[in-house]
Amino acid sequence: MDDAAKRVLISEKEIERRVGELAAQISADYTGQELVLLGVLKGAFIFLADLSRRLTIPRVVEFIAVTSYESGSVPSGAVRLIMDVRKSIEDKHVLIVEDIVDTGHTLHYLMEMLETRGPASIKTCALVRKSGTAQVDVTIDYLGFDIPDEWVVGYGLDFAEKYRTLPYIGVIDTDE
């Protein structure tokens, strides 16, 4: 299986630098508080692993899994919860960690659902956001990069489950 993307969009070095900046900003903003990092599976697993290890504040890691895309490249718009958090988030400071925000449906769904559970606060962090594809308004409190509307893979992002473990973010032709 050839897992090299056609073109590098964001290099390993650029990702490392930006993740460090985000971690510093988050650590400063949450000084004196414990943070629940809520990774959205599967895509966020690598970003969350790197981000969580560079924070300097007390933190715990939780995961949630949703699915928003049909297999392949066609977004369905529907979001479905397939795995919930294990611990209550009531009175906790929660940071949702996403690899990518595209239409915004996933984050919008998660914010609405998690807000009903009484967290002390809830914010969002995404490594990349596609430009011009939003269908619902969502606030991203901590954003790594704005990217063009292309199919990106690597650093957790897949195409039909391929390419997730590439160390950089690359672009592929989806008709390959």
Instruction: Tell me which residues touch ligand PRP (CB under 6 A).
Output: 40-43, 67-69, 75, 98-106, 158
Neighbours of 124 (CB within 10 A): 21
> Which residue number has the CB closest to ligand PRP?
43
The nearest distance, CB 123 to ligand PRP, in angstroms, is 16
Smaller CB separation from ligand PRP, 39 or 119: 39
Annotated catalytic residue: which of 99, 102, 137, 146? Answer: 102
Q: Which residues pair with 154 in a beta bridge?
A: 157
The CA distance from 19 to 143, in Å, is 10
Query: How far from 152 is each of 79, 86, 90, 97, 132, CA to CA, in Å?
Result: 20, 30, 35, 18, 15
Choice between 50 and 158, CB closer to ligand PRP = 158
Q: Which is nearer to ligand PRP, 56 or 76 (CB)?
A: 76
Asked if 102 is an active-site residue, the reply is yes
Q: Are 53 and 20 in contact (CB under 8 A)?
A: no
Task: State in angstroms the smallest separation of the CB of 130 from ligand PRP.
Answer: 8
Minimum CB distance to ligand PRP, residue 18 (Å):
18
Distance of CA 142 to the CA centre of its chain: 10
Q: Catalytic site residues? A: 102
